Amino acid sequence: MADADDVRRLALALPDVVEIDSEGFDFRVGGKGFVWSYPEREPGSPRRIRTDIAVLYVGDEAEKQALLLGEPELFFTTSAYDGLPLVMLRLAQVDVARLEELVTDAWHMRAPDPLAAGPDATAPVSHA
């Protein structure tokens, strides 16, 4: 079982991550969000920040559908996220190792190319 503290620890361990001041958690790399608290909106009620649910960037609709259909106990979506490459993750249902994989994948998809490729990608090639 994971929680908001695990999200924070895992996200901040990644290079060049910035935490945006919010009621919950909100992490960005290269100015792009990759994981944040779910801002639940119920008709007639003020927005409520849910730190027990993480919104994750997943890259594309195919990946989104694969997660939603393959693991409905972990992932869900709402009509507000239709057409967006985002899923909601129930933190109480995921173990920390899987959360680390998901947060890292989201970071890789949002990080600027040289950063996401890692330090070896921009190093000169040795021909020795």
Comparing C-alpha atoms, which of 13, 15, 35 is closest to residue 24?
35
- Whether 128 is covered by a domain: the verdict is no
- Whether 91 is covered by a domain: the verdict is yes
User: Each residue's pLDDT tens digit in the chain (128 positions)?
Assistant: 999 999 999 999 999 999 999 999 999 999 999 999 999 988 888 999 999 999 999 999 999 999 999 999 999 999 989 999 999 999 999 999 999 999 999 999 999 876 656 644 433 443 33
Residue 56 carries which side chain, given as an amino acid letter? L
Question: Count of domains in the chain?
Answer: 1
For the chain, the residue count is 128
Q: 4: burial class by Cβ within 10 Å (0-12, 13-18, 19+)?
A: middle
Q: Tell me if the pTM is above 0.95.
A: no
Task: Give one word for 81, left, alpha or beta, with left for phi > 0 and alpha for psi -120 to 50.
Answer: alpha
| Lookup: tokens for 29 | 């790399």
Would you state the pLDDT for residue 42? 85
Question: Which CATH number does the domain housing residue 9 bear?
Answer: 3.90.1150.30
Comparing C-alpha atoms, which of 23, 2, 5, 14 is closest to residue 89?
2
- Whether 103 is covered by a domain: the verdict is yes
- Whether 40 is covered by a domain: the verdict is yes
In which domain, by residue range, is 37 found?
4-120
Q: Considering Cα of 6, then 65, then 41, then 57, what sign does the dihedral take?
A: positive
- Whether 127 is covered by a domain: the verdict is no
- Whether 82 is covered by a domain: the verdict is yes
With vertex at residue 108, the alpha carbon angle to CA 3 and CA 98, rounded to the nearest 5 degrees, is 35
- Whether 126 is covered by a domain: the verdict is no
Q: Residue 55 phi/psi, 5° resolution? A: -95, 125
Q: How many CA atoms lie within 13 A of 35 on its CB side?
A: 29
